[in-house]
Amino acid sequence: MNKMRTFPQIQSLIEDSSLKDYPFYLRAHFCKKIVARCKKDFANEDIDKNELLKQIKQGIEEFYRKDLQSVINASGVIIHTNLGRSVIDEQIYEACKDKICSYSNLEFDLEKGVRGERYGVVLEKLKMLFECEDALVVNNNAAAVFLVLNSLAFGSEVIASRGELVEIGGSFRIPEVMRAAGVKLVEVGTSNKTNLKDYEEAISENTSLLLKTHKSNFALIGFQSEVSIKELQGLAGQKKLINYYDLGSGWCENLNANLAKNEPQIKKLVKECDILSFSADKLFGSVQAGIILGKKELIARLKKNQLLRMLRVDKLTLAFLEESLKAYLLKEYEKIVTLKLLNESVETLEQRALRVQKSIQMKSELKYSKALVGGGSMPDKSLKSVVLAFEGNALFNQAKFRAKNIIGRIENESFVLDFRSIQENELERLIKMIRELEK
Ligand SMILES: *Cc1c(COP(=O)(O)O)cnc(C)c1O
């Protein structure tokens, strides 16, 4: 007997009443997929229809879990790259709605009725906010680094400190980016110490640029020294070289004093180098983009590079970025969610944790802990935070909460929710989700 015949007809599976709540395209896709797989794996055995239906349902449910969906970040890592880095404020979102749900003057000069400059909507605001000569926006900071090196140093030597040849994550490695951008890396100094003299001695007639990279995601402690951007600027000026700072993150305004200490403020640094770049969705707290600031003559060279067309940002990005810039210029810092979370007082976090603790039945203990800035920012600094630590097996709790899109962390063998990275307007949803878990 041909065992294949014992498989239920695909059509009968697709029409089975137990799948009726799923849309047709998913029923059809997963019925065919699961039946094909079973025919391959169990070609010589009978297979039960209910077993097949169970697997089809499982396939569809797993597919739904992959949808982009909102999660509550209770990990305590504020700029969490896996969870989307910076959150957009609802008022900013509302302000963008009309601009992206209709045609816009993206590249059109409303005054003159002719073609306008694509980046016009953000350029003047960037220049005002950062007090710089000129600016440019690309897809992300990785693209910015690539564009700067390729436009300003192609075919020549770029000097960088061995202590700053970093890997950012997602396999973005400075030496490899340099190679891909067509520049020759000249390493100077050692892993822990680089002096100005090291740069000076490495300069040759083929050198065009001195690169400084912010040690975003690690810290050197102990016997170490690096050359400041200001010192490099002096040397670059003397030797007629370009001085570029890949800032990675960098902050703009209104960061609490404890975090701001020893961390680069963009406005100050832009005066100490020829050109710099940073991510718009790290400490700056906006959408994914790479912002480049610097001398007019250098930005003009970037604009001439054909690559810019490939790295250019969409109108959605420009709309959101424009609103974030306005918020900074108007000093409406409450619209920058990343800053708001970083600056929240411990007392406020305590009140929020208590509010959640009182509204649920699961047993938890309020504890003081430390949260992280994240996103490759400030690796050596932590923030005071408040957590609820739940009774019971940590791994089991972690999976249970994750099933409700609540992402916490494990600390001292307990599953904890860290309130440093939870927004106030998420508390009701958090409580509702935990109550559903308790059922
Ligand atoms: C994060 C970072 C980058 C990459 O920026 P993306 O916006 O993630 O592309 C590059 N350089 C440094 C120093 C960084 O910290």
Q: Is the CB of 235 under 6 A from ligand 1?
A: no
Predicted pLDDT at 2: 46
Kindly state whether residues 50 and 80 are assigned to the same domain.
no
* Same domain, residue pair 16 and 158: no
User: Which pLDDT belongs to residue 348?
Assistant: 98
**Are 273 and 193 part of one and the same domain?**
yes
What span, in angstroms and rounded, lies between the C-alpha atoms of 398 and 400?
5
Distance CA 39, CA 35 (A): 6
Q: Are residues 254 and 148 in the same domain?
A: yes
Give me the pLDDT at residue 335, please: 97
Using CA atoms, how far residue 405 sits from 4, 19, 359, 397, 427, in Å, is 41, 24, 19, 12, 14
- Based on the fold, state whether residues 353 and 280 are members of the same structural domain: no
Mark which of 335, 370, 398 sits at the end of a domain.
Answer: 335
Is 309 found in the same domain as 371?
Answer: no
Same domain, 39 and 157: no
Q: Looking at the CA of residue 281, tell me the nearest atom of ligand 1.
A: 7
Q: Among positive and negative, which fits the CA dihedral 190, 194, 198, 203?
A: positive
Q: Which of 388, 302, 291, 378 is nearest to 338 (CA)?
A: 378
Is the CB of 397 within 6 Å of ligand 1? no
Identify the CA nearest to 315 among candidates 276, 287, 273.
287
pLDDT of residue 171: 75
Domain CATH for 383: 3.90.1150.180
Q: CB of 280 within 8 A of CB of 126?
A: no
Q: Which tokens is 64 given? A: 């739904």
Among candidates 158, 152, 148, which has minimal Cα distance to 204? 158
Look up residue 189 and give its two tokens: 């100094």
Cβ-contact 343, 354 below 8 angstroms? no
Are 193 and 318 within one domain?
yes
Is the full-model pTM beyond 0.85? yes
CB of 168 sitting under 6 A from ligand 1: yes
Among 306, 335, 364, identify where a domain stops: 335
Instruction: Answer yes or no: do 154 and 207 share one domain.
Output: yes
Does any ligand 1 atom lie closer than 6 A to the CB of residue 279?
yes
Residues 285 and 342 in one domain: no
Residue 316: count of CB within 10 angstroms of its CB: 12
139 Cβ contact list (under 8 Å, min separation 6): 288, 289, 290, 311, 312, 313
Query: Which amino acid residue places its CA nearest to atom 13 of ligand 1?
Result: 248
Decide: 86 and 285 in contact? Cβ < 8 Å.
Answer: yes
User: Is 167 in the same domain as 24?
Assistant: no
- Given 335, 362, 390, the domain boundary residue is 335
Instruction: State the DSSP string of 381-434.
Output: EEEEEEEEEESS-HHHHHHHHHTTTEE-EEETTEEEEEGGG--GGGHHHHHHHH
* Residue 251 near residue 281, CB atoms below 8 Å: no
Which CATH number is 319's domain given? Answer: 3.40.640.10
Quick check: CB of 249 below 6 Å from ligand 1?
A: yes
Strands 290-294 and 134-138: antiparallel
> Distance between CA 397 and CA 111 in Å, rounded?
59
* Domain encompassing residue 357: 72-84+338-438
pLDDT score of 301: 98
Number of compact structural domains in the chain:
3
Residue 254, strand partner residues? none
Calpha distance 50→216 (Å, rounded): 53
CA-CA-CA-CA torsion sign (129, 132, 135, 141)? negative
User: Average pLDDT of each block of 10 consecutive residues along the chain (439 residues)?
Assistant: 61 94 97 89 75 95 96 96 96 97 95 92 96 97 97 98 85 89 95 93 98 83 88 96 94 88 87 97 96 98 96 96 98 97 97 98 97 79 93 97 97 97 97 95
Same domain, yes or no, for 311 and 362? no
Give phi and psi for 72, each to the nearest 5. Answer: -95, 120
Atom 3 (ligand 1) nearest CA: 248
List Cβ neighbours of 221 (8 Å cut-off, separation of 6 or more). Answer: 380
